[in-house]
Amino acid sequence: GHREAHELAARISGQRTDALAWRVTASRRTADNFLPFDGEPGEKIERSVANLQVVYQPTVRDELRLQAGATTGFNLSGAVGDLSNPFGKTQIRSNYLQLGWTRTLAPESELSLEYHHQDHGNRKSWIIPYGGVDAHTDQDLESRRDDIELQFSHRLSPAWHILAGAGVRHDSTTSMRYFSTGKTYGGTQWQVFSSLTWKPSERWAVNLGGNLEHHYFSGDLFSPRIAVNYALDNHASLRASTGISYRAPQAWESRSFETVSLNGQVLAIGYWAALPLEPERVRFIELGFAGRVAPLSLELDARFFREAYDNYIDDQACRFSRGTCS
């Protein structure tokens, strides 16, 4: 393809039976994302990917699912002469695993258990000349996440439906460059959530939901939501919703202290999360339409919304060079 894009992919699927289905895919891709320009060498990427998917139904009520994958490759990028991100190769590695079990208890009632794992690593190093000596620095980063979640849904009556669940997640991040220490940052968080739907008639549906979580950086957070839907016909509906949600800061945003050092002496400071961050909060209201406009043969999903943010987190909010944190 254009810009030296080359891709090779293969897929193998097992013969599907009533109980088992599986598929394996693998691919390799290389491309020049940016061509050399104005003295810069451009950018090149390479990725090798493998994925496995398995679905197994040991009984008519149970289903087991497995998905796993791995990616390796590199980015050849950066700017010539840039001390913070010089041109060079960044090695990339990532893996994931998902395991799931679902049991059907009734036509509109089921119990499910999910486990997710993912890990990611970057490797890039270079030399910075400083005062007649060479300072070694890198952008190495290792991160990992493990999550397990239990969920139950049940039709209470023709007019009422409930969903409830709980989950626990553990995050960890390690980077000498970004934290100036070999310490691992992160922690364990938990959440419980529920959603209740009431249909007083064929056209109206009201949904109440909430999520209570405890985050290792931000403490206890509660996110409520209410939504109302009105069906115009079998193919179109109006909706209105409002609520509050939160985004807790990541380790990079809340704990980073990026330095370049030589023999224990700090030569330069980059991004410094000088003060702990409050969680980002958004309050929203939405009016929308979803459905088919038959005279125009058009499928339409449109909405009018307003979002108000507090404690908005961006990459300039807490920098050492700005001297403020708000």
Per-residue confidence (pLDDT) for residue 316, from 0 to 100: 61
Residue in this structure with the two tokens 């409830």, named with its chain if needed: 164
Strand-pairing partners, residue 73, are: 47, 92
| Phi-psi domain of 158 (left: phi exceeds 0; alpha: psi -120 through 50; beta: other) | alpha
- Rounded CA-CA distance 204/195 in Å is 16
CA dist 204 and 240 (Å) reads 12
Q: Say what the pTM is.
A: 0.83
Q: What is the pLDDT along the chain (326 residues), one digit of tens a residue?
A: 877 899 999 999 987 777 999 999 999 999 987 776 776 777 899 999 999 999 999 999 999 999 999 999 999 988 887 777 788 899 999 999 999 999 999 989 999 999 999 999 999 988 877 777 777 788 899 999 999 999 999 999 999 999 999 999 999 999 988 888 889 999 999 999 999 999 999 999 999 999 999 999 999 999 999 999 999 988 899 999 999 999 998 888 888 888 777 777 777 777 788 777 889 999 999 999 999 988 888 999 999 999 999 988 876 655 544 444 44
What are the tokens at 105?
A: 């208890």
d(CA 255, CA 260): 16
Pairing of strands 204-215, 236-247: unpaired
Tokens 């950086």 identify what position?
A: 217
- One-letter amino acid of 7: E
Is residue 178 within a helix (H) or strand (E), and if so which, with residue range?
helix 176-179
**CA 272/CA 264 separation, integer angstroms:** 18
Query: Tokens for 122?
Result: 């970057």
